[in-house]
Amino acid sequence: MNEIENIQNLIYTIRGRQVMIDSDVAMLYNTETRSVNQTVKRNINRFPERYCFQLTKNEFENLRSQSVILNKTLNNGGVVRKYLPYVFTEQGIAMLSGLLKSDVAIQVSIKIMDAFVEMRKIIANSLNINNRISALEYKMIECDNKFDEVFNELQRNQENKLTQKIFFEGQIYDSYSLIIDIIKRAKMKIVIIDNYINDSILKMLSKKNKNVEVIIFTSQKSNLIKLDISTFNKQYPTLKVAKTDKFHDRFMVIDNKQLYHIGASLKDLGKRCFAINKMEDISFINRLNNNIVI
C-alpha cells in the first residue's frame, strides 16, 4: 500500500464532508496534536467551519465505533483526550500547511491533497455505481411488474381458453383433469347440477381452494349419502347437497360468473363421448339461480 492509500485510510466522511482528524494530521506533519490546534486557534479567522470544526461527542463515538484504524491509533498510543478532536477539510489542510511553513508540511500537504483528490474520484465512482445499481433495480422492478401483467394475462387467457371441448371414449384422465382445473378456479363458490352424482365427485372437490363453498343439486336417486357429506365437510368444508327434479342436463357454476354445460354426468367422465361448453351468456346463471332453492 503506497503513501497516498495510507492517507486515504485516514479520511472520514462527517457531516457530508471528507475530513481528517487533528491527531492524524499532526502525525503526518510529524508534530504534536496540541501544536496543530494551537496554530488553528492563533489564526481562527482563517479557519471557518467549512475548513475546520470540532466533533460532537456522538460524532466522535460513532467515528471510533466505525474506524478500526482510529481505535488502534488511540489504544496503541495510550491517548486519553481531554477534549473533543477537531477535523480538517481539504481546504483546512491547505490553510494549515501554509501556516506551519516547513519543508515537511509542504511535502506532506501535497500528498494529503492528492489523497483527497483520489477520495473524490472513489466517491464519484461509488455514486456512479450506486446510480447504475439503482437503475438496474428499477428496471428489475419494471420487469417484475411486466411479468406479473403478462402472467395475469396468460392466466386470463387460460381461463377464457375453454369455450368448448369434446372428449372421446377412454379420455377419462383428460376429462377429469379439466373438471378439476375448473374447480380450482373458484375463489368463493361452486354450484354443481347433476342428477346422477356419487362419491367420485368428492375426490374432485377435494382439490378446491380452501373455504370455497360447494352446493350440489341432484336427484333423489343420487348415491351420495349423508355420511359421505359429513366426512367430507370435516376436512374440506363446506359442502351442501339439495335434491331437485327440475334439471335434466349437467351444469357447473363458478363464483356466479362462469357457467359450464357438461354433456355427461361427472361420475361417467370419459366413459363415452361427451362435450363441455362454456356458456358466454351469463344471464343464464341468473335464470338457473331462479330455479334452484336449497
Backbone angles phi, psi at 253, to 5 degrees: -115, 125
Tell me which DSSP letter residue 118 carries: H
> Is the overall model pTM greater than 0.95, yes or no?
no
Number of domains in the chain: 2
Compute CA distances 166 → 76, 211, 261, 272, 288, whole Å. 87, 31, 12, 11, 24
What is residue 7's predicted lDDT score, i.e. its pLDDT?
81
Task: For residue 70, count other CB atoms closer than 10 A to its CB.
Answer: 20
- In the predicted model, what is the mean pLDDT of the chain? 81
Q: How confident is the model at residue 73 (pLDDT cuts 50, 70, 90)?
A: low
What is residue 94's predicted lDDT score, i.e. its pLDDT?
83
Which of 110, 130, 150 delimits the end of a domain? 130
186: CATH: 3.30.870.10
Asked if residue 184 and residue 250 are part of one domain, the reply reads: yes
Does 194 fall in a domain? yes
Give the domain range for residue 21: 3-130
Asked if residue 220 and residue 99 are part of one domain, the reply reads: no
Q: What is the pLDDT of residues 74-108, one digit of tens each?
A: 544 545 667 889 999 888 888 887 787 666 666 77
Asked if residue 178 and residue 120 are part of one domain, the reply reads: no
